[in-house]
Structure 1
Amino acid sequence: MPTVEVADLKDGDFLLDVREDDEWRAGHAAGALHIPLSEFVARYGELTEAAPQDGRVHVICRSGGRSAQVTMYLVQQGIDAVNVDGGMQEWAAAGRPVVDDKGGDGFVL
């Protein structure tokens, strides 16, 4: 499973958040694309439209389990994808900004 540490992510890296809507509303990384795992197959086209053609997709969830599933699927589709180790829990613990759905301070649910 290709993985990346939160500390190795750079500003501007493409981030796909696969958590559910309530988790997203509570807090997420600004600029991330949100496609819940439960809707991923039906909304896959949104990812292919938004993802950089020659860049990597960094997949994140709460702790790394759901994002690992999506990462494996994307790799099987020939997409350069990596799982963000530790997910949003690690993101927040590392002091990375977390915003709610209104752009204010968020938290990891």
Structure 2
Amino acid sequence: MSEQATTPQDLADDAVVLDVREQDEWDAGHAPGAVHIPLAEVPARIDELPDAEPLPVICRSGGRSGRAVQWLSAQGYDVVNVEGGMKAWEQGGKSVVSTGDKAPEVL
């Protein structure tokens, strides 16, 4: 684990995290305290970042969030990648909520 990484087990179930997955992934299932800004929209929506230091960034398995962490870090933000992403979050027994009436799942 790099100094710019954390694991789902290190975070509270209701931790504020930045979720950079796509809309359909978010709708299907996300962490209860997550803020959704798709990876491609992060530069344009940087003023919407949650106020947490360090800010955990999550995606499905860690790739997109890793890119977001690299970019945000270069902009001076204190961010960490959530290793294993939402897959590890769900496998670790952490709470997942969905948008709408479907049962939450991690796509």
Return the TM-score normalized by structure 1. Answer: 0.88
Measured after TM superposition, the shift of residue 56 of structure 1 is: 1.3
CA drift at 1:5: 1.2
Mapped to 2, the partners of 1:30 and 1:105 lie a distance apart of 14
Which residue is 1:36 aligned to? 38
- Unmatched runs of 5 consecutive residues or more in structure 1: none
Equivalence for 2:66 = 68
Q: 2-side partners of 1:89 and 1:30: how far apart? A: 15
Shift of 1:14: 2.4
Equivalent of 1:84, from 68, 71, 82?
A: 82
* Sequence identity (%): 49
Structure 2 residue runs of 5 or longer lacking an equivalent are none
Counterpart Cα distance in 1 of 2:97 and 2:89: 12
Q: Deviations over 1:40-90 (max 9, x none)?
A: 11111111xx323xx210000000000000011111111110000000000
Whether the 8 Å contact between 1:59 and 1:82 is mirrored in structure 2 is: yes
The normalised TM-score by structure 2 is 0.89
Q: Secondary structure at the match of 2:66?
A: helix
Aligned length: 105
**How far off its partner does 1:105 sit?**
3.7
